[in-house]
Homo-oligomer: A and B are copies of this chain.
Amino acid sequence: MNNSSNRFEQMSYKLKSAGYKLTPQRVIILQILSQRQDHPNPDSIYATLKKQLPTTSPATIYKTLAVLKNLKEVLEIQYSKESNRYDGYNPIPHPHIHCIKCKKLSDLNLFVFDQLSEEVQKQTGYQVHSLNLLIDGICPECQLTSQEDDK
């Protein structure tokens, strides 16, 4: 059993345990979230979902994402300009790097990250809820193709 299947089972279980119903819409949303590792935004999830259930509305996705976020079964990566992206494959908080050209959003391994929360808590006295590290840049591929539009 691969991680996608595990994630699907885990999310389904969590939803049901918390008293939520596993509707056809939600099943598909869970499938999408457990499989995709490209951190889709609501609109992208909507596009896929609409193919299988054409009557679905975006509101359903937003509502389900909110539930999953509260259950910590999906990680929300917040943007101010573009819409949020969601990681259901690996919902444990981790830093990301975002290419501002091709919009790709990738995981980033930083061994300092996991200690940060506790360190900040100690240093500031804040009760830390979430720690968002988001890096914007240009990925190696886009660096090649963007040489011509440099001034």
Task: Find A130's partner among B116, B121, B135 (CB 8 Å cutoff).
Answer: B135
Beyond A80-B78, A80-B80, A84-B80, whether A130 also contacts B136 by CB under 8 A is yes
In the complex, how many angstroms separate the beta carbon of A98 from the nearest chain B beta carbon? 9
Number of copies of this kind of chain in the complex: 2
A54 close to chain B: CB less than 8 A: no
A128 close to chain B: CB less than 8 A: yes
A71 close to chain B: CB less than 8 A: no
Bound-complex Cα distance A140 to B121 (A): 10
Interface of A is mostly: mixed
Task: Find A136's partner among B79, B106, B129, B139 (CB 8 Å cutoff).
Answer: B129
Q: Which residues of B contact A117 (CB under 8 A)?
A: 135
Q: Which residues of B contact A120 (CB under 8 A)?
A: 97, 108, 110, 135, 137
Task: Find A139's partner among B116, B126, B130, B133 (CB 8 Å cutoff).
Answer: B126
Q: What 1/0 mask marks residues of chain A from 115 to 151 whose CB sits below 8 Å from any chain B CB?
A: 0110111011111111111111111100100000000
New A-B pairs, 9, CB < 8 Å, besides A80-B80, A132-B132:
A78-B80, A125-B139, A125-B140, A125-B143, A127-B138, A129-B137, A130-B135, A133-B133, A134-B134
Q: Which 6 A-B pairs have the closest CB atoms?
A: A78-B80, A126-B137, A125-B140, A128-B137, A127-B138, A130-B136
| 6 contacting pairs across A/B (C-beta < 8 A) | A106-B124, A108-B124, A112-B112, A117-B135, A124-B140, A128-B136
